[in-house]
Copies of this chain bind each other. A is one copy, B any other.
Amino acid sequence: MQNCKHSTVHEARVRSFREREMAKNLPVFSMKHLLVVSLALNVSLILRAMYEREKWSLYHALSLQQPRSSVINRCGSPEEAHVSTNKHLSISLPSLDMSTSIEAEDQDGGERIINLDHGDPTMYEKYWQQVGDKTTIVIPGWQSMSYFSDVNNICWFLEPELAKEVVRLHKVVGNAITENHHIVVGTGSTQLFQAALYALSTQDASEPISVVSAAPYYSSYPSITDCLKSQLYKWAGDAQRFDKDGPYIELVTSPNNPDGFVRRSVVNRSGGVLVHDLAYYWPQYTAISFPADHDLMLFTVSKSTGHAGMRIGWALVKDTEVAKKMTKFIELNTIGVSKDSQLRAAKVLKVVSDSCEPSNREIECFFEFSHQQMAMRWKQLRVAVKKSGLFSVPDFPPQFCTYLGRAFEPRPAFAWLKCEQDINDCESFLRSKKILTRSGKHFGFSPKYVRISIIDRDENFNLFTRRLSKIIS
Give A residues with C-beta under 8 Å from B. 31-32, 34-35, 38-39, 41-42, 45-46, 48-49, 52, 56, 66-68, 70-71, 74-75, 118, 120-122, 124-126, 128-129, 131-149, 187-188, 190-191, 194, 198, 203, 220, 223-224, 227-232, 302, 306-312, 329, 332-341, 344, 347-348, 351
Contacts and interface: CB of A to CB of B under 8 A. Distances in A.
Given A49-B52, A145-B307, A309-B145, A334 B190 contact: yes
Contacts of A118: 147
Contact of A191 (B134, B312, B333): B333
A293 B89 CA distance: 50
Contacts of A306: 145
A142 B132 CA distance: 8
Contacts of A32: 31
A220 B142 contact: no
A348 B48 CA distance: 38
A466 B334 CA distance: 34
Given A45-B45, A144-B310, A340-B344, 7 more contacts: A45-B46, A52-B52, A74-B143, A118-B147, A128-B141, A131-B142, A223-B332
A71 B143 contact: yes
A144 B309 contact: yes
A344 B348 CA distance: 18
A112 to B, nearest CB: 15
Contact of A38 (B42, B198, B228, B229): B42
Contact of A145 (B56, B125, B231): B125
A67 B229 contact: no
Contact of A309 (B122, B137, B147, B310): B147
A347 B140 CA distance: 11
23 contacts: A35-B38, A38-B41, A38-B42, A42-B45, A45-B45, A49-B49, A67-B139, A74-B149, A120-B147, A124-B145, A128-B141, A137-B139, A139-B139, A139-B344, A188-B334, A190-B334, A190-B335, A191-B333, A223-B332, A227-B332, A228-B228, A333-B333, A340-B340
Contacts of A348: 141
Max chain B Cβ within 10 angstroms of own Cβ: one of A49, A191, A338, A347: A338
Q: Is the interface of A mostly helix, strand, loop or mixed?
A: helix
A190 B49 CA distance: 57
A134 B141 contact: yes
A219 to B, nearest CB: 12
A106 to B, nearest CB: 26
A224 B332 contact: yes
Nearest to A87: B142
Contact of A187 (B38, B139, B187, B310): B187
Contacts of A329: 227
Contacts of A49: 45, 48-49, 52
Contact of A339 (B35, B124, B309): B309
A328 to B, nearest CB: 9
Contacts of A135: 140-142
A67 B145 contact: no
B137 A138 contact: yes
A334 B231 contact: no
Contacts of A146: 75, 120-122, 308-309
A257 B316 CA distance: 36
A121 B133 contact: no
Nearest to A345: B340
Nearest to A229: B231
A128 B143 CA distance: 9
Contacts of A188: 334-335
Contacts of A147: 118, 120, 302, 308-309
Given A120-B148, A229-B231, A140 B68 contact: yes
A307 B144 CA distance: 7
A308 B35 contact: no
Contacts of A71: 140, 142-144
A174 to B, nearest CB: 24
Contacts of A229: 203, 230-232
A204 B277 CA distance: 31
Contact of A341 (B41, B125, B231, B340): B340
Interface centre among A75, A137, A329, A334, by most chain B C-beta atoms within 10 angstroms, is A334
